[in-house]
Amino acid sequence: MYPSRCRAITLAFWFVLGLSLPASAESLLIGGTGSSEPLMKLLFEEFNKQSPGITLNVVSPSLGSGGGIKAVSVRKIDLAVSARPLKAEEAAVLGQHFDFAATAFVLVTNGGERRNGFALDDLARVYEGRLQTWDNGAQIRLVLRTRDDSDTAQLKSMSPAMDKAVLIADQRQGMVFGNDDMDTLELLTRTAGALGPTSLGFLRTTGSRLTVLALNGVMPSATGLKDGSYPWRKTLTVVLPLKASPAAAKFAEFIRSRKAGEVMLRYDYLPAGP
């Protein structure tokens, strides 16, 4: 259980009504990629032990990386977490931003059987629709992300064959798409034989029991990221406005601390180096 001071709010509600956020002694409003939300709550729980006067508000549903960056730039939120690199034009209107953690980008299944996982060429065949069954003959049910999502970009970057295959999958009839990280996780969890992308740290922080698959014969792990044996990763970036609030500045500093790194490692996130 997260502490009661970790309250989730829907930012869009306040935007639509044009109202101010509820007042508190000192509050911190964060948003961005949905996969970071459970981790940020865990980090804040530890941070709150040394800064008990600050209240956390998390935007829900998630804004996504691009939405979080934009919200920070116009000071609608105090801090964003992005799962993609900032564009030059975004960085020009923002304050401090830094990578703070990486976790393995993974393919997972709900009940699908694939003894040795997937080689990338076979995974491309799945996305193209040429490989449609698991080892036991059950149907592979792909869960896709939208074409502008960071997970889609990650899939396409894995190999030239995957770049082509992901584009083909996007145009196939009857495909299922996850709207954000949590929606995708829920689709994968309730769909028998599902196959789709997520991140290892997100699975660990949510307590998901989906099965993680090996890629090119390697099982994903934080150790694999560190030694280079598993090359596919999702990197998380903290983004602050040009003039950060005191609460945001304190929390950003804590995120780079050894104590925060210990929390990340427990959930298969590899802290960024100094």
DSSP string for residues in 13-69: HHHHHTPPPPP-SSEEEEEE-GGGHHHHHHHHHHHTTT-TT-EEEEESS--HHHHHH
Q: Are residues 97 and 112 in the same domain?
A: no
Q: Are residues 111 and 20 in the same domain?
A: no
How many independent structural domains does the chain possess? Answer: 2
Its pTM stands at 0.87
Q: Are residues 192 and 241 in the same domain?
A: no
CA-to-CA distance for 30 and 270, rounded, in angstroms? Answer: 21
Give a yes or no: residue 1 inside a domain. Answer: no
Q: Are residues 111 and 212 in the same domain?
A: yes
Q: Are residues 222 and 115 in the same domain?
A: yes
The closest of 251, 225, 188, 199 to 57, measured between CA atoms, is 251
Kindly report, residue by residue over 113-130, the tens digit of the pLDDT: 999 999 999 999 999 999
Give a yes or no: residue 52 inside a domain. Answer: yes
Q: Are residues 60 and 120 in the same domain?
A: no
What number of CA atoms fall less than 13 Å from residue 61's CA on the CB side?
Answer: 8
Q: Are residues 77 and 157 in the same domain?
A: no
CA-to-CA distance for 215 and 217, rounded, in angstroms? Answer: 5
Kindly report, residue by residue over 9-63, the tens digit of the pLDDT: 344 434 433 434 444 468 999 999 999 999 999 999 999 999 899 999 999 889 9
Residue 95 maps to which CATH number?
Answer: 3.40.190.10
- pLDDT for position 6: 41
- pLDDT for position 4: 35
Give a yes or no: residue 222 inside a domain. Answer: yes
Q: Are residues 38 and 150 in the same domain?
A: no
Q: Which residues of 76-96 are buried (b: 16+ CB within 10 A; e: fewer)?
A: bbbbbbbbbeeeeebeeebbe
- pLDDT for position 274: 59
Q: Flag residues of the chain having pLDDT under 70.
A: 1-25, 274
Structural domain including 169 reads 103-227
Q: Are residues 168 and 193 in the same domain?
A: yes
Q: Are residues 11 and 64 in the same domain?
A: yes
Q: In this structure, how many other beta carbons lie within 10 angstroms of the beta carbon of residue 130?
A: 11
Q: Are residues 162 and 95 in the same domain?
A: no
